[in-house]
Amino acid sequence: MRFDLDTYREIADSLVRNKSRSLLTGFGVFWGVFMLLFLLGGGQGLRQLMSNNFAGFATNTAVIAPSQTTKPWKGMKEGRRWSLTYTDVERLKRMIPELETVTPMVSNWGQEAVNGANTVNANIKGVYADYSKVEEPLIRYGRYINEADVAQERKVCVIGKRIYTSLFPSGGDPCGTMIKVGPVYYQVIGVDFNSGNMSINGNADEAVVVPLPVAQKIYHRGNTIDLLCTCGRSGVKMSSLEDRMRHIIAREHGFDPTDRDATFFLNTEQIFAIMDNLFTGLSFLIWLVGLGTILAGIIGVSNIMMVTVKERTTEIGIRRAIGATPSNILGQIIMESISLTMAAGSFGIVFAVLLLSLLGSIVNGRPDAVPVDFQVSFWTAVVSALLLSILGVIAGLAPASRAMAIKPVDAMRDE
């Protein structure tokens, strides 16, 4: 097929003559492409928003906390309370080598943090230095609790974002400042700006993190702990270790190992798997709806081209009579189909990108917002354009075949 300036002029004239039909069918393609790209970009942004809720939290974590027994065991009635101890930490480390981290936590809720005339409610979290492997802090100033702080039982703390903004409204680096939390003064050594909504024993932005031995002695916790946080080694599924951990703890504390309600067990691996499955299904639905809408628009293009070919039977016959080859007719019809789909699809791509940019600016415009990308990638747009070209060719095949079948004699007879 050979195209020259006259051929492209004929294509443009044809689209102008049938502008009402072109606009109607082009809108179908435009809407399909817009729907597909807007939903893809919106789905990506929604996924990032959801992921921000789990920011900094390890994906292979299991949290264990004591609860109330619901089954009798060796002469003891159900309904008994029990407590985790530091011995459980060493026992799990020794008996389950697949665990990379086993770290305890003690907490004290509803404490008042004071800095001069500024006060705010806070939650004390007593942890070891390796707790950062479970809930990774986003340190804005200073540093996190380290091994020396724990070993020397230093009265130091890392404060969350809300605590920082309430106690230090003028901003700046607060490290080295003394604040009073409850009955004790602590030196601020770091500020954690972790904004994730998933955290243990209270939100990270409302927490005052201190060395665990300090919290243990100040709040008279003795040998008991509130919960255990564990992380598996690379490639280890925490769900495969759950029963072993339950049995080890049940044997030590004297309750039925099959009593699953006696132990609260939070497996973040399952939470992340649910989220991944949710967005995989959402992506499939987006592609299904978007491609379905595009195909409906392409079918409309094909139908309109068929009507156009029928109305131009005499014109096509005359062209054949004066020397136009079947390839010329085929090329013109297919090029008209491609031009219509590409023009409408390009407007759909541009409009989707602009609307996603507006959506992103609205969501990211909040002062405390974590940046979220609501845009489709460059290659997604390129693939969409190539797909439109292919579908334009397919939409023009049937009308082009009909145009090639027109004989000059029959066209003259109809005229």
Q: What is the mean pLDDT of the chain?
A: 82
Pick from 85, 73, 68, 103: nearest CA to 249: 85
Pick from 235, 159, 260, 200: nearest CA to 63: 200
Secondary structure of 42-78 in the HEC alphabet?
HHHHHHHHHHHCCCCECCCEEEEEECECCCCECCECC
Which two three-digit tokens encode residue 325? Answer: 């080859």
pLDDT in tens, 208-267: 999 999 999 998 888 999 999 999 888 888 888 989 999 999 998 989 988 989 999 888
Our count of domains for the chain comes to 2
- Give the domain-ending residue among 208, 236, 264: 236
What is the CB-side half-sphere exposure of residue 67 using CA atoms within 13 A?
15
Contact 210/124 with Cβ under 8 angstroms? yes
Low-confidence ranges of the chain (pLDDT < 50): 1-4, 7-8, 11, 15
The amino acid occupying position 389 is S
Position 63 in a domain: no
CA 51 to CA 275: how far, in whole Å? 9
Contact 227/201 with Cβ under 8 angstroms? yes
Query: Do 45 and 89 share a structural domain?
Result: no
Query: Do 399 and 301 share a structural domain?
Result: yes
pLDDT at 413: 56
Position 70 in a domain: no
Query: Do 121 and 32 share a structural domain?
Result: no
pLDDT at 404: 66
- Give the domain-ending residue among 211, 236, 261: 236
Q: In the beta sheet, which residues pair with residue 156?
A: 187
Q: In the beta sheet, which residues pair with residue 103?
A: 229
- Give the domain-ending residue among 236, 265, 283: 236
Query: Do 124 and 218 share a structural domain?
Result: yes
**Could you give the angle at the alpha carbon of 393 between the alpha carbons of 392 and 398, nearest 5°?**
105
pLDDT at 197: 66
Q: How far is CA 375 from CA 29, 43, 353, 379, in A?
A: 20, 10, 7, 12
Contact 101/129 with Cβ under 8 angstroms? no
CA 78 to CA 87: how far, in whole Å? 24
Contact 395/337 with Cβ under 8 angstroms? yes
CA 393 to CA 381: how far, in whole Å? 19
The amino acid occupying position 220 is H
Q: In the beta sheet, which residues pair with residue 142?
A: 190
Position 150 in a domain: yes
Position 185 in a domain: yes
Query: Do 197 and 295 share a structural domain?
Result: no
Extended beta strands in 241-400, E state: 263-267
Position 153 in a domain: yes
Q: In the beta sheet, which residues pair with residue 59?
A: none
* Contacts (Cβ under 8 Å, ≥6 apart) of 6: none
DSSP state of 226: S
Contact 126/106 with Cβ under 8 angstroms? yes
Query: Do 231 and 89 share a structural domain?
Result: yes
CA 381 to CA 199: how far, in whole Å? 38
Query: Do 408 and 279 share a structural domain?
Result: yes
Query: Do 190 and 311 share a structural domain?
Result: no
The amino acid occupying position 329 is I
Q: What's the whole-model pTM score? A: 0.70
pLDDT at 316: 67
Query: Do 355 and 211 share a structural domain?
Result: no
pLDDT at 1: 44
In which domain, by residue range, is 155 found?
83-236
Contact 384/36 with Cβ under 8 angstroms? yes
pLDDT at 26: 65
Query: Do 197 and 107 share a structural domain?
Result: yes
Position 252 in a domain: no
Query: Do 94 and 38 share a structural domain?
Result: no
Pick from 275, 289, 281, 295: nearest CA to 37: 289
Position 60 in a domain: no
Query: Do 189 and 323 share a structural domain?
Result: no
pLDDT at 11: 46
Position 59 in a domain: no
